[in-house]
Each structure stands twice: as C-alpha cells, then as structure tokens.
Chain A
Amino acid sequence: MSFTERFSLNFIESNRYRYITAGIKNTLLITVVAAAIGILLGFLIAIIRSTHEKTGKLKLLDLICRLYLTVIRGTPTTVQLMIVYFVIFSSVDRPLLSAFIAFGLNSAAYVAEIVRSGIMSIDPGQMEAGRSLGLSYRATMAYIIIPQAFKNVLPALANEFIVLLKETSICMAISLRDLTYGTSLISSQTYDYMFPLLLGAAIYLFFVMLLTWLFGKMERRLRQNER
C-alpha cells in the first residue's frame, strides 16, 4: 500500500481522525486539570512539610502528608487509576473525573517533594532576615521564601508536567478516550500499527515541545531581576 492509501485508510475512512482529535482533547484536559490539582495540593504539602522541618510544628499534619507521599509514590499510576475508577467510584461511571483525581493526586505527591526541595534550598538567613524585619512567619514564607524557591524548582516542575502529559496514555485501562486510546483503536480496526503509533508519538512530542517552550519562557522572565 502506498503512503496516501495508508493515510486514507487510517485517518480519513470512517472519519477515523475523530478518534485522534477526541483523544487530544481528553489528554490535554486531564493534563491541565491534574496539573492544577497537583500544584495546589503539592504546594500545600510542601509548605506543611518544610514548616515542620524548620519549626517542629504541625506534627500531625506532617505525619499525614508523609503517609500520603509514601502510598502515592509507592504504587504504580495505572493501579491508582484503576482503584479510583473501579473501587472508589464503583457504582457510578465517571472515567474523566476518576482520571482528574488519580492523576491530580499522583502529580501532587511529586510536586510536593520538588517544591519542598526548593524551599529547603533557600538560605536560612532569608527567613531570619524577614522575621527580624518584623514580618510574620507566613508573610516571610509567602513574599520571600516561596518566590525564590519557585524560581529554583521551575525546571524540575516542567519535568513533572512533561511526565504527567505522557503518563495519561494509560487511560485505556478505564476505557477513557485519550490520545493513545485513539491510536490503538485505529490500529485495532485497520490492523496497521506503525502509522497510527508514529502519528501518536509525533503529537505527544509536539505538546511536550510546546510545554518545554512555555516553561523556558517563564524561566527567562523570572530571571530578569538577576541582571
């Protein structure tokens, strides 16, 4: 079969390109929502953990956070996704919501440790200086420590969101139509594997490059005060 014939069979006939477009939509939606949950929850956990490490307060909350990190980082994402869909939401059919929660909680655990490493890397003198100038602990954290920490961890955060975007390719386990579901479905109907597979790979690559470019832009913007 020629290239155009293969292209037509895999993407034009029976409107198969729709599997790809629908897949892209879901893949991006899951990534964005999960990243938002990950950032919110991740920062919260990171602040709790680093506050505990620096001041010894929030003992119980720290314990809960550590338990959370252990469980989430200690089990595969596929398994977590299936537990959310088949066990937690056992009586309703909410694949998209399950994916938001599973990927969001998963990402939060990694974001938390990345952000914590950023907070711990800021010189203790900064906190002391803020406090001696009369700022509260909370204000020092919010206006002095976190902004500097954020700048330091930006490359690591970009890394995490790239992984998150690609990890959504396991959604097939809960019959959610992500990009990989779309390409597999086309293969299963046409028995042509290379073509949809390579196209899927190219689309992931495109979005990861877009993400990398965005983060690069943000990094440069945040570095402007250093000159």
Chain B
Amino acid sequence: MKTMKKAAAMILGAAMAMSMAAGAFASEIASVDDLEGKTIGVQMGTTGDIYATDAYGDENVKRFDKGAQAVMALQQGKVDCVIIDLEPAKKFVEANEGLKILDEDFALEEYAIAVSKDRPELTEAINGALDQMKADGVLDDIIKNYIGDDTKGKFPYESAENIDRSNGTLIMATNAAFEPYEYYDGEKIVGIDADMAQAVCDLLGYELQISDMEFRSIINAVQTGKADIGVAGMTVTEDRLKNIDFTDPYTTARQVIIVKE
C-alpha cells in the first residue's frame, strides 16, 4: 500500500512539473515577425488557415472545427497564438481573461459572396445590386450598424414596404457563429452579411431565406444547388475560384493574432 502511495505521489509530481514546464516556456509573440516556427491555431478552412499554411508551413498550423476550440487550445498553451478575423477575435478576448490582440494585423482581406459557376447571371445581378448599394451608402450604413463604437445600432437596415418579390426565394447558406457578420439574436440570424443579403434581395426582388450550416458545408451547398448564395465572411483565393464563382467584394476585414497576455 505504501509503495502504491509513493508511486501515485511521484506520478502526480511529474504531471505537475510537466504542466509547469509547459507554462514556463510559453513563447513570446509580439509581432508578425515572431510567428516563424511557432504553433498557430486556426479554424479549418478560414483565411487565417490558408494564409498561415502558405506562410509558415502545414506542420506549424493546428486546425480546429471552431474558432472557440482554437482559443481554448491557446489558453492551455497547446498553440502559441490564434489567427482569426478581427471582429470575432474581439469577442473571444472579451469573453476570456488573459488574452490580447496584437496591434499589428496579420493580413487584410476582402469578403465576397459565393455563387455557383453554373449561374453567371446571378453573379452579374448581385454585382449590380452591390454597386448600387455602395453608391447610395446603404452598404456603409449596414456595416456601421455593427462595427464602430459610436455608430453601433444606429443604422438598422429595414426593407422598404411593398417590395415585389415575384422572383421567388433566394437561399443563403451561412455559418451563424461569426459575430458581427452572422450570429443568432434569439431565433433570428442577424449581422452584416444577413442585412447585406436582405438588401440585395430587396433590390433584385427575391424573398431571402437563411440556412445555417457548418462552415465547410457552405460551398458544397452552393455547388449542389441546395443554396443559391454562400455568405459567411468568405475570402476569394485562386484555388477556390476553380470550383466556385465570387461576386465583387462587399467589405474588407482584418486577420489578427490573439496571444496570451
């Protein structure tokens, strides 16, 4: 019995020493230059994943199903930093103590709407609608309504009355876990992307229907016609263009680095 206790104490001691060692060697990242050779946590398939893999090699990138899991891994020291879009990053840092966002951005990117390659006329029509929204300021107001401390909540988008919606339903595939672009407010999916898609539908005469799914299923849904458009803060890349079309960009976003304080 005594030896067993001793053994148990030794195992416990070893485990504690290991966890302390893991904490003590936490690497310091102060800017983008320090990322070389560090373990980077990302959400699979996001721009952070693609850029980090290109720049620092596949073996240094740890991919998770959800951004939240990557952030949890960061807190436990399993990754040295997390690369993710600025707006969700703010929410993660707010909700978890001991994390901060580096001042220096990792990358700038442009979001666009994904449309099936079989429907160039829809891509054209949406581009037209986006141009009009950019020209009359509707798009700016939608973004201002969600981003910016002074403007938040002050420019809610509302559809005009008596809109002719005779063109039928336009199904938008998204992953509603990406505040402020798309997220649940009660039962309803709201956010910049949701409002922007609503505004596009108002101009083109469609009824908007939002369908929430896994991020990695969105493109598949658009390709197979289960959804008409994919709107989920998606960035255009060369490889993606081979399988799907994108509209003109509707907003720019920043990829940032979250580290432990």
Subset of 19 A-B contacts with CB under 8 Å: A1-B242, A1-B243, A19-B58, A91-B22, A91-B23, A91-B76, A91-B77, A92-B19, A93-B76, A172-B64, A188-B216, A189-B45, A190-B242, A190-B243, A191-B219, A191-B240, A191-B242, A191-B243, A192-B243
Smallest beta-carbon distance B111→chain A, Å = 15
Cα–Cα distance between A164 and B69 once the two chains are bound (Å): 24
Q: Which residues of A contact B69 (CB under 8 A)?
A: 86, 173, 175
Q: Does B144 contact A (CB under 8 A)?
A: no
Q: Which residues of A contact B78 (CB under 8 A)?
A: 92-93
A91–B18 CB distance below 8 A: yes
Chain B residues near A (Cβ < 8 Å): 18-19, 22-23, 39, 41, 44-45, 49-50, 53, 58, 62-65, 69, 72-73, 76-79, 216-217, 219-220, 223, 239-240, 242-244
Q: Which residues of B contact A86 (CB under 8 A)?
A: 69, 72-73, 76
Cα–Cα distance between A152 and B147 once the two chains are bound (Å): 65
Q: Does A213 contact B (CB under 8 A)?
A: no
Cα–Cα distance between A173 and B68 once the two chains are bound (Å): 11
Smallest beta-carbon distance A198→chain B, Å = 12
A189–B63 CB distance below 8 A: no
Main secondary structure on B side of the interface with A: helix
Cα–Cα distance between A20 and B35 once the two chains are bound (Å): 27
**Smallest CB-CB A-B distances: 5 pairs:** A188-B45, A91-B19, A193-B220, A93-B78, A191-B243
Main secondary structure on A side of the interface with B: helix
Count chain A residues whose beta carbon lies closer than 8 angstroms to a beta carbon of B. Answer: 22
Residues A92 and B44 in contact in the complex (CB < 8 Å), given A9-B239, A86-B72, A172-B65: no
Smallest beta-carbon distance B165→chain A, Å = 30
A185–B44 CB distance below 8 A: yes
Q: Does A187 contact B (CB under 8 A)?
A: yes
Q: Does A4 contact B (CB under 8 A)?
A: no
Q: Does A80 contact B (CB under 8 A)?
A: no
Residues A190 and B240 in contact in the complex (CB < 8 Å), given A91-B23, A175-B64, A184-B216: yes
In this complex, what residue of A is CB-closest to B42?
A175
Q: Which residues of A contact B244 (CB under 8 A)?
A: 191
Q: Which residues of B contact A172 (CB under 8 A)?
A: 44, 63-65
Which of chain A's residues 134-152 have a Cβ closer than 8 Å to chain B? none
Over the window 165-185 of chain A, the binary record of Cβ atoms lying under 8 Å from chain B Cβ atoms (1 yes, 0 no) is: 000000011010000010011
Q: Which residues of A contact B22 (CB under 8 A)?
A: 91-93
B44–A184 CB distance below 8 A: yes
